[in-house]
Structure 1
Amino acid sequence: MEYKYKLAKLQYDKEKIEELIAQQSSRVGQVFPKKMEEVFWQKNLERSRKHIEKNLWSGVLVYFLFILVMIPTDYWIIDKNFFKQDFIQCVLGLTNGAFTLMLIYFAASLPKLKPYFVFTASAIFFWAIVSMSWLTLTIQTEDLKHQALVIICIIDILGFMLIGLKPFHMLTVSMLASFSAIVLLVFTVDMNPLLLGRVLLGGCFLGFVISHMGSARERMIYLYTSRAKISEQIHRIHNSELLHLSQHDALTNISNRRTFDETLTDYFNISKREESPLAVLFIDVDHFKNFNDFYGHQKGDDVISSIAESIKNAIRHMDFVARYGGEEFVVLLPETNAHGAYAVASNIYKAIDRLGIPHEKSLVSNHITISLGITVYRGEEMTQDELLCIADQALYRAKQLGRNQIYYQSIRSEAASL
């Protein structure tokens, strides 16, 4: 019944996920329970960190192309009266941008810094806004100042998209960095403070909105992925249960006739190839028809189940038991000679006897008993069917001698009699 419990739990989890999908589809924002929210952001942060670590050389190439475009164009835009100072600051700004990107990469990839990625990434983002604002907006050339405002907005937005922190976390860091930059620049730059504030704070809110919308999309992807994983688990449980049902007897939960035939083929071939003994035990419940007629089929099913469980507990871990049909069972004992097979058969016989199940209509005892037939294969020239026939004859002989006993039939003696 364990699989049914797992299946019910997975079905419940899937329904909860589907409820969250419906809620997320109708609104933008947090709809996750607290624990799921923490897991989501942890996974989101880890994914962002791995993207940064993985895409280093792509980022280097893109930034190199950016530099190739920026330096020549800055050269032609810079006012000749401030050429040396402004050109140096442009180069410093580009160098600082490369330095900042490398810091982000090291924060994402170095083992010692990975656990502190949230704090180091926040500090680097703060530094990027403040330092790039000062380096680019203290330039004297007016056209470059306007360009710098656009670049700072882009840095703000990229920070929200690249680092993968929670939008409100990033908004807090971005606001602090923007206010710090405004305070720093208002005394050093001949620029309208209102314009400066609109650009810096506008970049914060634009980045926040884009990040917020992006996280909503990531939430939907996370929910769809979680639902797909649960569906796959449910599918696997169903397939596993179908496989189990195809290989096991429904009443006793031990192997069925089909699985026995497949297992016997494997054991038989190994025994023949390696010339190792393979014992076969046939077991039959004595006067079981009388039991069913007197006690009813439901009681009969209970007896079959109890006997199957007792046989399974009485054999070794290397042995194999199956329900052969009706009240008959068969046990395969690999690498077991006649003496060992008789010992296992005795264990089974005693285990059934200990059950003490009343059987008023038995002709041999006042409780349930069994008859056992044994034979041992040692690589003789014969087929599997012939081996089973000899084991069945041994069981038949045990019944002829009065039931409630164990009978061993040698293959050699049977072959000699033939």
Structure 2
Amino acid sequence: MEYKYNLAKLQYDKEKLEELIARQNRRVGQVFPKRLETQFWRANLERAKDNINQYVWTGVLAYFILILLIIPGDYWIIEQAYFAHDFIHCLAGLANGALSLLMLYIFAHHQKLKPYFPHAAMAVVFWSVISMSWLTMTVHTPALKHQAMMIICMIYILGYILTGVKPVQMLWVGLTAAVVTLLMLFSLYVKFDAMVMGRVLVGSCVFGFAISKMLCTRERMIFLSMLRADVSEKIHRIHTAELLHLSQHDELTKISNRRTFDEMLDTCYEQAKRDESALSILFIDVDHFKNYNDFYGHQKGDDVISSIAKTIKNAIRHMDFVARYGGEEFVVLLPETDAHGAYAVASNIYKAIDRLEIPHAKSSVSSHVTISLGITVFRGEDLSKEDLLSIADQALYRAKQLGRNQIYYQSIRAAHVA
């Protein structure tokens, strides 16, 4: 019944996810419940850290190419009168950018620092905006100041896209950085166009926020689709596992069926031949079961078969294998077990069934349900599996001939002589 509960729960989860996907498509209200919202942003942060780790060398190459493009260009456009001052600021800006990206990588890569990655990412963006604004606004060459606007815009957009931090949190960080930057430039009496700078800072922050929100909408849909696919896969696995279980087990007794026994016999038979070890087989039959069914009814008969199957399973060792062979017959495989060991296991089963004391008014051997057991032991002889089973069945037949309610051992050698 546990699989049915798990299946029902997964079906419910899938329906809820499909409902969320529909709402996401319609943009109706708050899409994610709190638990799922937390899970989404945790996954988003992990994805951001993985991307930084995975593409770090690509980033290094891209930044190196950027340096090769910027430095010669700055070299030629800087006015000669301010060359040393402005060129040093240019180099400092490039070094500052490299340091900021390195800090992101360190917090994304090292296990002990990973939990602090979102805080580090917001601190890096805050620092980058302020420091790069000061470095670029304090140069004297007008062309470099114009270039600063593009750099600041890039910092904001990369901060939103690269870090995986919630857009609202990054918006507050960006706006705070913009205010601090303007106050710093005013307090240091830096010459700049406050209107243009304010538009660049606030505009870049809001623009990055809008892009981030659109990307998050797409990421939410992907996240929901992945969750739904994962749930569907789990449902499929449960169905597959249940079908496999049903194909391998007897529906009434819940122990292995004839088909599974044949597969297990193949394995044990080959192992016994390869290792030259003993393989014992027990055939078990419920005495006068047809009389029991006729007198007590088939429902009671099914209950008896189920009880006996459970009792046999509990009476054998963990290394042994039991299956329902058909009707009221059971078979037990005892790997690496000689005749003495097999007789001991058979005795345990016999006594356990006897202790059940299930009334059987139509039995000619006892007042309660009894069993007959036949034993044979295979030691790698030149014998087919079919012949081996035939000898075990002969042992059971002999136990019945001798009056039932007993254990009979039939050796392979004696069977051949006979």
Please give the TM-score of this superposition, normalised by the length of structure 2. Answer: 0.95
Deviations 1:88-132 (A, max 9, x none): 322222222222222222222234422221222221111100000
CA 1:237–1:143: 2 relative to 1, 3 Å: same
Where does 1:11-410 land on structure 2 (aligned, <5 Å)? 11-27=11-27, 31-187=31-187, 188-410=189-411
Name the SS of the counterpart of 1:392 in structure 2.
helix
CA 1:218–1:157: 2 relative to 1, 3 Å: same
Q: Is the 8 A contact 2:121 2:159 kept in 1?
A: no
Name the SS of the counterpart of 1:252 in structure 2.
coil
Name the SS of the counterpart of 2:11 in structure 1.
helix
Q: Is the 8 A contact 1:156 1:204 kept in 2?
A: yes
CA 1:195–1:28: 2 relative to 1, 3 Å: farther
Name the SS of the counterpart of 2:127 in structure 1.
helix
Name the SS of the counterpart of 1:41 in structure 2.
helix
Task: State the Cα distance separating 1:312 from its structure 2 match.
Answer: 0.4
Write the distance in 1 (CA, Å) between the matches of 2:199 and 2:129: 15
CA 1:372–1:127: 2 relative to 1, 3 Å: same
Task: State the Cα distance separating 1:399 from its structure 2 match.
Answer: 1.2
Amino acid at match of 2:159: G
Q: Is the 8 A contact 1:284 1:372 kept in 2?
A: yes
Q: Is the 8 A contact 1:100 1:124 kept in 2?
A: yes
Q: Is the 8 A contact 1:373 1:395 kept in 2?
A: yes
Q: Is the 8 A contact 1:28 1:216 kept in 2?
A: no
Amino acid at match of 1:15: E
Q: Is the 8 A contact 1:29 1:216 kept in 2?
A: no
Amino acid at match of 2:358: I
Amino acid at match of 1:365: S
Please give the TM-score of this superposition, normalised by the length of structure 1. Answer: 0.95
CA 1:153–1:28: 2 relative to 1, 3 Å: farther
Task: State the Cα distance separating 1:240 from its structure 2 match.
Answer: 1.4
Segment drifting more, 304-313 vs 109-118: 109-118
Write the distance in 2 (CA, Å) between the matches of 1:396 and 1:411: 15
Write the distance in 1 (CA, Å) between the matches of 2:278 and 2:98: 75
The Cα RMSD (Å) is 1.7
Q: Is the 8 A contact 1:89 1:135 kept in 2?
A: yes
Segment drifting more, 167-176 vs 107-116: 107-116
Write the distance in 2 (CA, Å) between the matches of 1:384 and 1:171: 75
Write the distance in 1 (CA, Å) between the matches of 2:59 and 2:270: 62
Segment drifting more, 234-243 vs 199-208: 234-243
Task: State the Cα distance separating 1:157 from its structure 2 match.
Answer: 0.9
| Moved >4 Å (runs of 4+) | none
Task: State the Cα distance separating 1:271 from its structure 2 match.
Answer: 2.0
Segment drifting more, 251-260 vs 109-118: 109-118
Amino acid at match of 1:240: A
Name the SS of the counterpart of 2:204 in structure 1.
helix
Segment drifting more, 54-63 vs 168-177: 54-63
Task: State the Cα distance separating 1:327 from its structure 2 match.
Answer: 0.6
Write the distance in 1 (CA, Å) between the matches of 2:276 and 2:152: 82
Write the distance in 2 (CA, Å) between the matches of 1:71 and 1:45: 34
Amino acid at match of 1:414: A
Name the SS of the counterpart of 1:324 in structure 2.
strand
Task: State the Cα distance separating 1:142 from its structure 2 match.
Answer: 2.5
Q: Is the 8 A contact 1:271 1:378 kept in 2?
A: yes
Name the SS of the counterpart of 1:380 in structure 2.
coil
Write the distance in 2 (CA, Å) between the matches of 1:390 and 1:100: 81
